[in-house]
Amino acid sequence: MALTILDYAASVPANTTFSASIIIPTAPNRLQLASIGIFIPTTAGGANRVELTTSVGLLRNIFGSSGTVLFRILRDGNEIFNGLQTTSSGAPPGFASVVPTFETIDFDVPAGFHVYSVTVESILFDNSVIGPITFSGTAIGTEQSVNNNQVLTYQASVPRSVALVGDPIILPISPARTQLAGLGVFIPTSGSRSNRVQLKATIGVEGTTAQERDYILRIFRDGGEIYNTQASMTTETLTLNLTTIQTIDLDVAAGFHIYTITAESVEGDVRVNGPITFSGWVIGTDTAPSTPLQNQVLDYAASLPRSIVVADDPLTIPRTPARLEVAGVGIFIPHAYVGNNRVQLIGTIGLFMPPGSNDVLLRIRIFRDGSEIFNAAYVLAVLFQRYGVVSVQTIDFNLTKKFHTYSMTIEITTGVTPEDTCQVIGPISLSATALGLIE
């Protein structure tokens, strides 16, 4: 028994940084970034989950002050999600790009065709969209059925779907923690020790002081920690941050498991204002697609070089044109699905700026078979942001060969001085989900 993928849709208006240059209008005006259509069959109406994931590259247009933008996701014109993101002021000019990735889950959508769209508007100062821009949606039925797509279980928790609604959650100082969300998944005996549990979360975080304040996110399975990451906040350069993280739990035993995500502050003065989303896919590793069913999982692969911060064993990021490959996966497309498929790729990298370095501009790239298909720029500002965790998403369309290798790399493109450096300390993850047939 397994769950059925009802539909999958994706839009990639821009797949690299500076492949777009669009001024974001000031609220209440909005810029629509992308839209997709999802069809829910009558048999699954009101018994489904639609998981939506977005990556957008932003640029703060004027040096010297931070800006703020508001993202919204709408279904059929009605808002179901919003989140605030600060755009860095940059130092020097040009060090002002950020690539927020965020997700939400729409529950029990009625039968029929639905249009989802993602928009952005400027709340404070002038900002631009520079790319990449990706938007994807996966509709999953909640009823068990006999099929071969190998989605064993899917669960999601959305305590808050919008920002700045309800009382803020003041994060306690370590070692105390606050649980933000939790979910339970059941793994059947047939899927025991041959599965991947892909966990994603989006947390809207706010810094409340001009000084740098670090916060830690942790994920637990049945009370045992399986993931952690650390990031930095400040009212000077990064007041509001949509932090999105991903990890993969490998070969989990049969039975019922509880996953929780917690947050804590290292020094204080950090709070969660929303949104808060948490989702978990359980995917069997022995996929066996059945022609001609649509929207099956053709293959799934994941690489998890580091599931936690490993500060005492950093990986130094080289300067362009050199690159550091942090993760790679292989995907197989069955013959019947060649030319009619989608591969959704999601990567997460935890970063650290060592003492003595200045701001650096980083470039994350994803390659298929050695050819670049995606890149995104990201700034780490040492004065107020020693730690960073960046997640990216892209979708590869209609592959025409059977086996493909994907890799994710990172490099420093520019520093304030030639000696400036940055390190990868973890977590590191890269996942690829191949789906087909796609109509």
DSSP string, 292-317: T-SSEEEEEEEEEEESS--TTS-EEP
99 close to 377: Cβ distance less than 8 angstroms: yes
Structure-token match 């107020």, residue found: 384
Under 8 Å CB-to-CB from 411, ≥6 apart: which residues?
A: 317, 318, 319, 320, 321, 322, 323, 324, 362, 363, 365
Domain 155-165+177-286 fold is Jelly Rolls (2.60.120)
Number of C-beta neighbours around residue 435 at 10 A: 25
Number of C-beta neighbours around residue 120 at 10 A: 24
Higher pLDDT, 382 or 68: 68
Query: What are 294-337's pLDDT values in tens digits?
Result: 778 888 889 999 999 998 999 999 999 999 999 999 999 988 88
User: DSSP label at 152?
Assistant: E
Please name the CATH architecture into which domain 295-439 falls: Sandwich (2.60)
Ramachandran angles phi, psi of 189, nearest 5°: -60, -35
Structure-token match 């979708």, residue found: 395
Higher pLDDT, 419 or 119: 119
SS3 state of residue 239: coil
* Average pLDDT value for residue range 253-278: 92
Go through 387-415 and write b for each residue having 16 or more CB atoms within 10 A of its CB, e for each that does not: bbbbbbbbbbeebeeeebebbbbbbbebb
3-state secondary structure 352-410: ECCCCCCCEEEEEEEEECCEEEEEEEEEECCCCCCEEEEEEEEEEECCCCCEEEEEEEE
SS3 state of residue 56: strand
pLDDT score, position 267: 82
* Weakest mean pLDDT among 21-35, 216-230, 313-327, 407-421: 407-421
Confidence bin at 134 (pLDDT 50/70/90): very high
pLDDT score, position 200: 93
Confidence bin at 33 (pLDDT 50/70/90): very high
60, pLDDT greater than 90: no
**Sheet harboring 360-368: ordered strands across?**
324-332, 403-415, 360-368, 371-380
Under 8 Å CB-to-CB from 178, ≥6 apart: which residues?
A: 169, 171, 172, 262, 263, 264, 272
Most confident region among 28-42, 132-146, 385-399 by mean pLDDT: 28-42
401 close to 365: Cβ distance less than 8 angstroms: no
pLDDT score, position 355: 79
Mean of the per-residue pLDDT values for the chain? 86
Confidence bin at 116 (pLDDT 50/70/90): very high
1, pLDDT greater than 50: no
Structure-token match 């071969």, residue found: 148
379, pLDDT greater than 60: yes
Query: What are 206-241's pLDDT values in tens digits?
Result: 877 766 678 899 999 999 999 999 887 755 555 677
Domain boundaries, the chain: 1-147, 155-165+177-286, 295-439
pLDDT score, position 421: 86
pLDDT score, position 97: 66
pLDDT score, position 239: 66
Give the separation between CA 394 and CA 347, rounded to whole angstroms.
Answer: 9
Structure-token match 């900002």, residue found: 127
pTM of the shown model: 0.86
- Name which CATH class applies to 1-147: mainly beta
pLDDT score, position 21: 82
